[in-house]
Amino acid sequence: MSKDKIVTDAPDVQGLRILVLSRAMEAADKEPIQAGFLTSISGLKGGTRESQKLSPINDRDYEEINSVGKKTSATINLNLLYKFVKDGKVESYEGVHYLEKAFEDNEEVFIIVEVNDERKTTLKIKMKLTGFELQSEANNKFSANITAEKIGEAKDITPFRFEEGEEVEHTTKALKVGDVLEDKKGKIVYYYAKESTLAKPEINDERLVYVFDAIRGVVPNPNTQTFNEKEEFITTKEAEAKWQKESDAIHETKNEPVKDQVYEDKKGKTIYFYPNPLSLTYPANGDTRKKYTIDATSGVASEAEEQSFLNNTFTTTLKQKAKK
């Protein structure tokens, strides 16, 4: 079966397709055929069990016995549009005729349904039709009302689909951790080292997942995901921990210490000053900060030690010379 989306467009119609696959087509490994556009469906899952209640007559000391029988699958009821005008011509979907033939010949048939949920679950249902009725609708559209009994449970054949959404991007362009990309604020970016993975992922293919902050757009440390036998990308390596400010120090974004000034209330403390306030919460490559040490005895501030951010850490770049 094709791994393309089942959601399809058509003139005046936009919805989920119903595909049909006869037993002969399945045996010949053929693709399913479109039957029409689904307008309603019920009985995809669930069923009933016959129940028999037993209790001794006129004996209140015994509890009622409830005997439950074998589960009976729910009856499927569906309605689908199957013929309409396109480019001035009336189109007919061959799959409807397979359903009608299966009904006439009392044969088993498969239908393939995409459930309208977030996962876009795709179910393959084996069934026998117990009711088949065609109706005429407005604007040259026709509908088929179908009732069927499932044979066994619906099989989940949901194909892999790449994530979608306004805040999702897929790319083969490498990202550098720590760089600022303002156009990626608040987005999730999936990076594929192999272009073929983005076209059609294969088992053991990898991708990196970057979850960007919504404030500055700094490229974060990514998670690594691997494509497995179940046709899913699963996380196989968690992102490295992001930089954390020193908990035993004072971090300032407004009041920069002054060399040789006395700070009685900060004796023995280390003070980091950030010229760019965003560097404290969302540090990026090239950001700087100044480190001051306050003498434990006198409370006098040292000269500034400038530090630069790279590779997820601040490292010393130079010490400022005292002004003469």
**pLDDT value of position 177:** 97
Mean of pLDDT over the chain: 84
More confident residue, 137 or 17: 17
Which of 281, 289, 293, 295 has its CA nearest to residue 318? 289
Look at residue 267 and tell me whether its pLDDT is greater than 60: yes
The mean pLDDT of 180-199, rounded to a whole number, is: 96
Beta bridge partners of 143: 81, 135
**pLDDT value of position 59:** 62
The mean pLDDT of 193-200, rounded to a whole number, is: 94
More confident residue, 12 or 321: 321
**pLDDT value of position 48:** 76
Look at residue 5 and tell me whether its pLDDT is greater than 50: no
Residue 282's pLDDT band, with cuts at 50, 70 and 90, is very high
pTM of the predicted protein model: 0.63
What is the per-residue pLDDT across 27-52, written as a single tens digit (0 to 9) for each? 888 888 877 777 777 776 677 777 77
For residue 127, CA distances in Å to 22, 43, 75, 101, 152 come to 10, 12, 10, 13, 8
Residue 55's pLDDT band, with cuts at 50, 70 and 90, is low
Look at residue 260 and tell me whether its pLDDT is greater than 80: yes
**pLDDT value of position 183:** 96
- Contact (CB, 8 A) for 185 and 167: no
Lowest-confidence segment of 94-98, 223-227, 261-265, 313-317 by average pLDDT: 94-98
Lowest-confidence segment of 95-109, 245-259, 289-303 by average pLDDT: 95-109
CA distance 172 to 145: 47
What is the per-residue pLDDT across 57-95, written as a single tens digit (0 to 9) for each? 666 666 667 777 777 777 888 887 765 445 555 555 567
Lowest-confidence segment of 12-16, 68-72, 196-200, 290-294 by average pLDDT: 12-16
**pLDDT value of position 141:** 67
What is the per-residue pLDDT across 227-239, written as a single tens digit (0 to 9) for each? 999 889 999 999 9
